[in-house]
Structure 1
Amino acid sequence: MNFNLTEEQQMLQDSLRRFLANEYGFDKRRDIIAAGNGLDKPTWNAFAEMGLLGYTLPEEYGGLGGNAMDTLLVMESFGRALVVEPYLSTVVLGAGIIEDAGSEEQKERILPKIASGEEFLAFAHQEPGGRHNLDYVRTEIQKHGADYILNGRKTAVLNAAGAHYLIVSGRRHGRPTEPVSLFLVNHDTSGVEIEEYTTHDGHRVADVILDSVMVSDDDRIGARGQAMPIVEKGVDRAIAALCAEAVGAMEALNETTLDYVKTRQQFGMPLSKFQVVQHRLADMFIAAEQAKSMAILAASMADSDDRKQRREAISMAKALVGQSARFVGQQAVQLHGGMGVTDEMFAAHLFKRLTLINLQFGDADYHLGQVSDGLLKSA
């Protein structure tokens, strides 16, 4: 496989990194988080103008026809700058699911507005008590004449408060033996209640309460009871994107740590002169490079229709990237000393983001278990 970037991909990466370096500094990010909505509209509009919001969407819906490898480049750059805008929830997860399984009417109505930056999506699937198990769905779907009623609670839904549409999973009468279906729910539908809060890394999530929410067959995404393959592929694509974001954050953390030890004096010389510090920096660099290789593997498999191979590759990548993120983050904090956990230091925010990325959609231990279980089944 050729891992070299095409000329177009190189231009995308260069222009995006240049934009973020000039327009999305540390202070700007803190202001966005303090504003409380997890979004700077001028920045989001700039992403739309650069083609980022529709980069992986088909051309007939205003996109550029890219793939998960293109998403890797975007998310890696976002990781370096700690971008908090809802790219993962809207573009990677939401638009990806609509593109995979939405009706033609849904695609024509929503995808062009995603590409232009006008609308946002949120994937409301995870439920209290479910941990990382995607099959844990207790939200009830009840038939009501020609329509359906949804009742349930979703937790830690990324950017739910700012989404125009929620992609909601449920089962008939909430029974765990029933197949899963997906519905597109307008955020202002009667019965939808959103309880928003901020995660420790500054991102916005919410618990979504569904109390007798009315939907129709036109709101269904995909065939009735056939949603789990759609959910799994959508989440796998999101995990691949998170792996790329983690790589970008690790690279930025390595760079800022190197700059710090070059200037921090101890015993009359910079910390970077001590051999033990040099060894730590080398180990951190190796960990980030290993993670990058696995992120590329995840991206190369994220669009595959081979469920077994895709899920295996994604879990292997998430496990190693999570382990590398923990190691690089902990070493960076140690090398910064007490300053490494203060709000004024960029390193502290990188470490927080890496910690949360490790937890999203299953931590390193969970995915290591998935890989080992798969090996036992195939033995």
Structure 2
Amino acid sequence: MDFNLTDERQMLQDTLRRYLREKYTTNVRNGILDSETGFSPEIWSDLAELGVLGALFTEDQGGFGGAGFDIAVVFEELGRAGVVEPVLDSALLAGRLLAAAGKTEMVEDVISGVIHLAVAHGEPGGRYDVDHVHTQANGDALTGRKALVMNAEAADHLIVSARDGDTIAFYLVARGAPGLIIQGYPLLAGGRAGEVTLDNTPASPLGLTLKDYEDATALAVVAINAETLGAMETATGLTKEYLMTRQQFGRPIGTFQALAHRMSDMLIEMEQARSAVINVAGNVDAANRDLHVSASKNLIGRIGRLVAEEAIQMHGGIAMTQEYELAHIAKRITMADHRFGDTDYHLERYIALSTN
């Protein structure tokens, strides 16, 4: 089997990597982290212009990619550079839900970078249970609370889940709608999220089901895994460079056998992580998709923890300074495990799916 990228994906990867290398420095990111929105409108516009957002959608949806490997290519580069812009939540997850709902014009606006979106599904106490929805729909009005809504403050529209009788449905809520309150806060890994309260808030039904959300979430897991892989590549690269630069007893500390072995273990685990991303990207449309999703998410979470801890320990105190690239990257790797189910959740899910 040929795992090489197609010419189009290779071109996308090269273009995005070159742009981020030139534009997305540590100082630029730190400035974005201190901003009120948690992302750069200029960077967002550039990503749209470069076709990065369009690569997340199929041709039928107005894009030019949309397959698992297209998504993996984009997010690996975003993770490698530590990009904090909400591409995953505002473009991929929300955009694919709108595409499933047949909102063609809105999807076109997402691809062109005109609008920002947020998905409000999780609720207090729900953890990773997708069925834990207590927000109520009374006709075309919603009442309830949503927790950890990524990009909530900057979103022009929110896609909100609510119970309509015995079923879970999804609704579109406009920014500034009556009864909508958003309390925002910065995230440890960068960007911003918010706690959302709805009090008889007007909403438009999207005609989506929980299965549509699960389909979009499967793509989001491909994205977060690829993003973590890219971040781990940066962490291992920084560690290798540091070990060959820092000197002790007249020679680089990377030549000491104990540290060389630890570095070798990191690189071996990285190869397993890459295989996991390739596997889930290639099986995102398979009948046993969920099995591959949970297997990859569990493995990436475990390897990510190892890489982050080893990179920090082999660097020493410098690894925790805000001015050094690894500080942000290690946070991203660690916190990625808590998105869309952590290692324990997906281990249990994998076992349950395997025994059915």
Deviations 1:30-56 (A, max 9, x none): 111111312212211111111111223
Deviations 1:308-349 (A, max 9, x none): x11111000000000000000000011011222222221121
The alpha-carbon deviation at position 374 of structure 1 amounts to 1.8
Q: Specify the alignment match of 1:36 in structure 2.
A: 36
1:252 pairs with 2:234: yes
Opposite residue 122 of structure 2, the aligned amino acid is Q
SS in 2 for 1:371: helix
The alpha-carbon deviation at position 88 of structure 1 amounts to 0.4
Opposite residue 135 of structure 1, the aligned amino acid is D
The alpha-carbon deviation at position 61 of structure 1 amounts to 5.4
1:107 pairs with 2:104: yes
Opposite residue 184 of structure 2, the aligned amino acid is E
The alpha-carbon deviation at position 196 of structure 1 amounts to 0.6
Q: Specify the alignment match of 1:222 in structure 2.
A: 207
1:272 pairs with 2:257: no
Counterpart Cα distance in 2 of 1:127 and 1:66: 29
Q: In the TM superposition, what are the counterparts of 1:183-262 in structure 2 within 5 Å?
A: 183-215=171-203, 219-222=204-207, 227-262=209-244
Check conservation: 1:237, 1:303, Cα contact below 8 A.
Answer: no
SS in 2 for 1:190: coil
Opposite residue 212 of structure 2, the aligned amino acid is I
Check conservation: 2:27, 2:323, Cα contact below 8 A.
Answer: no
Q: In the TM superposition, what are the counterparts of 1:259-338 in structure 2 within 5 Å?
A: 259-304=241-286, 306=287, 309-338=288-317
Q: Specify the alignment match of 1:88 in structure 2.
A: 88
Q: Specify the alignment match of 1:142 in structure 2.
A: 138
Check conservation: 2:39, 2:191, Cα contact below 8 A.
Answer: no
The alpha-carbon deviation at position 222 of structure 1 amounts to 2.3
Check conservation: 2:242, 2:315, Cα contact below 8 A.
Answer: yes
Check conservation: 2:122, 2:147, Cα contact below 8 A.
Answer: yes
| Equivalent residue for 1:167, pick from 155, 159, 162 | 159
1:152 pairs with 2:144: yes
Opposite residue 141 of structure 1, the aligned amino acid is A
Query: Sequence identity of aligned pairs in percent?
Result: 39
Q: In the TM superposition, what are the counterparts of 1:118-133 in structure 2 within 5 Å?
A: 118-133=114-129
Counterpart Cα distance in 1 of 2:345 and 2:330: 20
Deviations 1:234-293 (A, max 9, x none): 111111100000000000000001111111122222111101111111111111111111
SS in 1 for 2:132: coil
Check conservation: 1:125, 1:168, Cα contact below 8 A.
Answer: yes
The alpha-carbon deviation at position 194 of structure 1 amounts to 0.7
Check conservation: 2:61, 2:99, Cα contact below 8 A.
Answer: no
Q: Specify the alignment match of 1:18 in structure 2.
A: 18
Counterpart Cα distance in 2 of 1:184 and 1:332: 43
- Cα RMSD of the aligned pairs, angstroms, is 1.4
Deviations 1:192-219 (A, max 9, x none): 111110111222111111111122xxx2
Opposite residue 205 of structure 1, the aligned amino acid is A
Q: Specify the alignment match of 1:353 in structure 2.
A: 332
User: Structure 1 residues 258 and 65, CA, compared in 2 at 3 Å: closer, same or farther?
Assistant: closer
Counterpart Cα distance in 1 of 2:46 and 2:57: 18
Opposite residue 329 of structure 1, the aligned amino acid is A
Opposite residue 234 of structure 1, the aligned amino acid is A
SS in 1 for 2:269: helix
SS in 1 for 2:56: coil
Check conservation: 2:291, 2:354, Cα contact below 8 A.
Answer: no
Counterpart Cα distance in 2 of 1:56 and 1:336: 36
Q: Specify the alignment match of 1:46 in structure 2.
A: 46
Opposite residue 279 of structure 1, the aligned amino acid is H
The alpha-carbon deviation at position 62 of structure 1 amounts to 4.0
The alpha-carbon deviation at position 189 of structure 1 amounts to 1.1
TM-score, normalised via structure 2 length: 0.97
Stretch deviating more after TM superposition (64-73 or 319-328): 64-73
SS in 1 for 2:222: helix
The alpha-carbon deviation at position 303 of structure 1 amounts to 3.9
Q: In the TM superposition, what are the counterparts of 1:55-70 in structure 2 within 5 Å?
A: 55-59=55-59, 62-70=62-70
Stretch deviating more after TM superposition (353-362 or 54-63): 54-63
Q: Which runs of 4+ in 1 moved over 6 A?
A: none
Check conservation: 2:136, 2:164, Cα contact below 8 A.
Answer: yes
Count of matched residue pairs: 356
- Mind listing any 5+ residue stretches in structure 1 that lack a counterpart? none
Q: Specify the alignment match of 1:72 in structure 2.
A: 72
Counterpart Cα distance in 1 of 2:86 and 2:285: 21
Counterpart Cα distance in 2 of 1:360 and 1:56: 19
TM-score, normalised via structure 1 length: 0.91
Counterpart Cα distance in 1 of 2:319 and 2:65: 41
Counterpart Cα distance in 2 of 1:39 and 1:58: 26
| Equivalent residue for 1:366, pick from 325, 345, 350 | 345
